[in-house]
Amino acid sequence: MFQEPAGVSELAQALGISKSNAHRLLRTLLELGFVDSRDGRYWATLKVWELGSHVIKRYDVKDFARPFMTQIAAQTEEEVRLAIFDEATFEVIYIDKIDSAQDVRAYSEIGGRSPSYCTSSGKVFLAYQSEDVIAKVSKGLSSRTKWTITDPAKFAADLEKTRADGYALNDRGLSEQVSGVAAPIFGGDGGVIASISVIGPAERFALKRLREIGEATKKACAAISEKMNPPAPNVVRLKQDLQRLASKPLKA
């Protein structure tokens, strides 16, 4: 929300609360060590990061996804990110990433947020949301660049294509310099629990390359989904295997 220390008035306005309530909350957070203050301005301490790190550790998807992210990063030489979806704000939150080794590259932060409607990682989540959620997001479509999709009908068509392709493309929708592609990781209930995206300078992401990376990322995400949600054992086959083992003579 704020990249630099902020005053009580700024924080109160951002949170939609009164200055007195904001000041009372800040005093509590100061006592607990979650914020620090100087000259009437406040900023978060490392204790906030430590708390967030513990929360992020609960997402086992990081452990499953990391080897595949490493492989994709090596193949593409671009930044690879793992994201989850905040249903309250319709934003994506990046919980892991592997930086590109190239001199000219995109940049993001772990813990950073982006709008879902104009990012490839976000569109992957939205493509599998209910019609009500998509309708709410469509009402807030605003132009970030001249390439941002702001027409609800075109946006709906883009999400439909994402479902058909199995991955989402983003051609400079959030930044004029950056393009990307993302694929979904599915949970046991069939919902999208995370996405892996590959981003980089738009000049290196021609449509053909985006689709090639999209197919590779989709394949990796499918493998992660399978590892996280192993199929139930085949009872019939298991019974046959046990009978076969039982019929074998014991070796002396």
Which residues are registered as beta bridge partners of 198?
A: 80, 181
What is the predicted pLDDT for the residue at 137? 94
pLDDT band at residue 235 under the 50/70/90 scheme: very low
Mean pLDDT for the stretch of residues 147-155: 94
SS3 letters across the chain: CCCCCEEHHHHHHHHCCCHHHHHHHHHHHHHHCCEEEECCEEEECHHHHHHHHHHHCCCCHHHHHHHHHHHHHHHHCCEEEEEEEECCCCEEEEEEEECCCCCCCCCCCCCCEEECCCCHHHHHHHCCCCHHHHHHHHHCCCCCCCCCCCCHHHHHHHHHHHHHHCCEEEECCCCCCEEEEEEEEECCCCCEEEEEEEEEEHHHCCHHHHHHHHHHHHHHHHHHHHHHCCCCCCHHHHHHHHHHHHHCCCCC
What is the predicted pLDDT for the residue at 78? 93
pLDDT band at residue 249 under the 50/70/90 scheme: low
pLDDT tens, 201-233? 999 988 899 999 999 999 999 999 988 876 655
What is the predicted pLDDT for the residue at 48? 74
Largest CA distance in the chain: 84
Mean pLDDT for the stretch of residues 7-14: 87
The answer, yes or no, to whether residue 252 has pLDDT greater than 50, is no
Mean pLDDT for the stretch of residues 240-246: 50
| Angle at 105 (CA atoms; ends 103, 110), nearest 5 degrees | 120
Q: Compute φ and ψ for 195, nearest 5 degrees.
A: -140, 150
What is the predicted pLDDT for the residue at 105? 67
pLDDT band at residue 70 under the 50/70/90 scheme: very high
Q: Compute φ and ψ for 141, nearest 5 degrees.
A: -65, 120
pLDDT tens, 17-68? 888 888 888 888 888 888 888 888 988 887 776 666 555 545 578 889 999 9
CA distance 36 to 41: 8
pLDDT tens, 171-181? 998 989 999 99
What is the predicted pLDDT for the residue at 50? 65
Sign of torsion over alpha carbons 81, 119, 208, 146: negative
pLDDT tens, 119-150? 999 999 999 999 999 999 999 999 999 999 99
What is the predicted pLDDT for the residue at 1? 58
What is the predicted pLDDT for the residue at 16? 84
Q: Please state which of the ranges 96-105, 185-194, 241-250 shows the lowest mean pLDDT.
A: 241-250
pLDDT band at residue 93 under the 50/70/90 scheme: very high
What is the predicted pLDDT for the residue at 68? 95
Question: Which residues, in sequence order, are CB contacts of 54 under 8 Å at separation 6+?
Answer: none
Residue ranges and CATH numbers for the domains of the chain are 6-53 (1.10.10.10), 59-228 (3.30.450.40)
